[in-house]
Amino acid sequence: MKKLLKGGVIVGASDCRKADLLIDGERIEAVGAALSCPEAEVIDVSGKLLFPGFLDAHTHFDLEVCNTVTADDFYTGGRSALRGGTTTVIDFACPNKGETLHTGLARWHEKADGKTGCDYGFHMTIDDWNESIESELDAMFDAGITSFKMYLTYPAMMIGDGAVYRALKALKVRGGIAGVHCENAGVIDARIAELKASGLGADVVSHPISRPDYLEAEAVSRLLRIAQAADAPVIIVHTTNRASLDEIAAARRRGQTVYVETCPQYLALDDGVYYDPDFSSAARYVCAPPIRSQEDSEALWKALRRGEVQTISTDHCSFMLEQKDMGRDDFTKIPGGLPGVETRGEVVYTVAINENKLSLGGVCRALSENPAKLYGLYPRKGVIAAGSDADIVVYDPGASHVLHGADMLSKAGYTPFEGFRTNGGVSKVYLRGQLQVDGGKVVGGKMGEYLKRGKCAL
């Protein structure tokens, strides 16, 4: 059965135009003015904005971490994503140290296959480097994994500078790319010890104090110099602050290729959240890197406008408040991460449009087109055009609602954006032509498919 979405405004990265949209099965058949198709079901979307389904290239579903497991698995995380207009997630497959990449990949397929309502791909985490891991890389590309993740912090996952250098070179020759978590591990650990020794170990504020912006910028700078030596492109994931952006600008002036991701929590919140005297109210915002100052958030918006930051992902890594409670006596035991996959589109749209931070096209680029290009899914995903997957977000710019944790599909049970009034709202979501969300409710099933991705084309 064909579907004809009539009367909407098609949002693209470079233009918005009034046009009808004809869907045949899983694909978009045509986009144009006054389309007609007698056998199609006609859906009136007049007054609505039609975005290409949002891609969230940074989620952690069903992840064992911090002596617990994330609240959302691929089922609840997928529903939560869909409701927020996200039709594709790219999650991080994570072998444990000493395991093969194949083991990690098989485990992530087990977690995800047949269990989720949105399409999904995997990045592969490289938390060890040796000949045997290098020998697995070609098989990873064959499996549709073209992007990798490395950590400059977290003992369970971090690898040394030499390993990062070797891995970047090995990825480059295969046309792959790595996203890197940049924070200085050693100095942060020393500061944590100092804070604990001075009796501040139970204070949530010790979290941002132990991980200041400049220790993120130091790691960004070091990574970029390693990438210079390796002559390889890199992605800086979850970038939070101006000092890091300065390091990125310097590397670009040297001629390096650097892609930058940020997240809604760094764009729409500030570090005041950590100063709430109530433990639970403050602990819910603990994530790494931490939420920064308002000036940093301004710098990120400016960089988005200038195209210096390409993507907005969530780093969705959800924990219930009971899990956050594990750190009541020791802030380093608060599981780090925020839920966000359900609210990203509406929060970004609202701040972008209400405060003139970013154009509609800019929102489309950051949420859909750029992640699709960067992670090898374009033009199947990330654009409303004939031949592309019929992943469509029907966004009602006339709607408005207030975000409440109790209403979320995420199992976290809270939202970092509690009380946030949205401008507009996700009304319907189609994934490959199937209605997955209607009137803000998830109505579809576990139709999500694994996506084999191509190479970076941004």
**Contact residues for Mn ion (CB under 5 A)?**
315
Angle at 18 between CA 17 and CA 24, to 5 degrees: 105
Measured distance CA(43)–CA(23) in Å, rounded:
11
CB of residue 164 vs Mn ion: minimum separation in angstroms?
Answer: 17
DSSP string, 109-144: HHHHTTT-SSEEEEEEE----SHHHHTTHHHHHHTT
DSSP state for residue 369 in the 8-state scheme: I
User: Within 13 Å of residue 29, how many CA atoms lie on the same side as its CB?
Assistant: 14
Query: Is the Cβ of residue 182 or residue 224 nearer to Mn ion in the bound state?
Result: 182
Q: Please name the residues in contact with 33: beta carbons below 8 A apart, sequence gap of 6 or more.
A: 18, 19, 20
Measured distance CA(431)–CA(10) in Å, rounded:
16
Query: Is the Cβ of residue 213 or residue 315 nearer to Mn ion in the bound state?
Result: 315
CB of residue 317 vs Mn ion: minimum separation in angstroms?
Answer: 6
Q: How many angstroms separate the first and last alpha carbons of the chain? A: 34
CB of residue 59 vs Mn ion: minimum separation in angstroms?
Answer: 8
Per the CB < 8 A criterion, the answer to whether 335 and 341 are in contact is: no
Closest-CB residue for Mn ion?
Answer: 315
Query: Is the Cβ of residue 58 or residue 381 nearer to Mn ion in the bound state?
Result: 58
Query: Is the Cβ of residue 315 or residue 389 nearer to Mn ion in the bound state?
Result: 315
Query: Is the Cβ of residue 216 or residue 315 nearer to Mn ion in the bound state?
Result: 315
CB of residue 315 vs Mn ion: minimum separation in angstroms?
Answer: 4
CB atoms within 10 A of CB 419: 9
410's tokens: 């995420």
CB of residue 60 vs Mn ion: minimum separation in angstroms?
Answer: 6
Query: Is the Cβ of residue 56 or residue 315 nearer to Mn ion in the bound state?
Result: 315
Query: Is the Cβ of residue 62 or residue 315 nearer to Mn ion in the bound state?
Result: 315
CB of residue 156 vs Mn ion: minimum separation in angstroms?
Answer: 13
Place of tokens 């990265």: 13
CB of residue 181 vs Mn ion: minimum separation in angstroms?
Answer: 7
Measured distance CA(85)–CA(58) in Å, rounded:
15
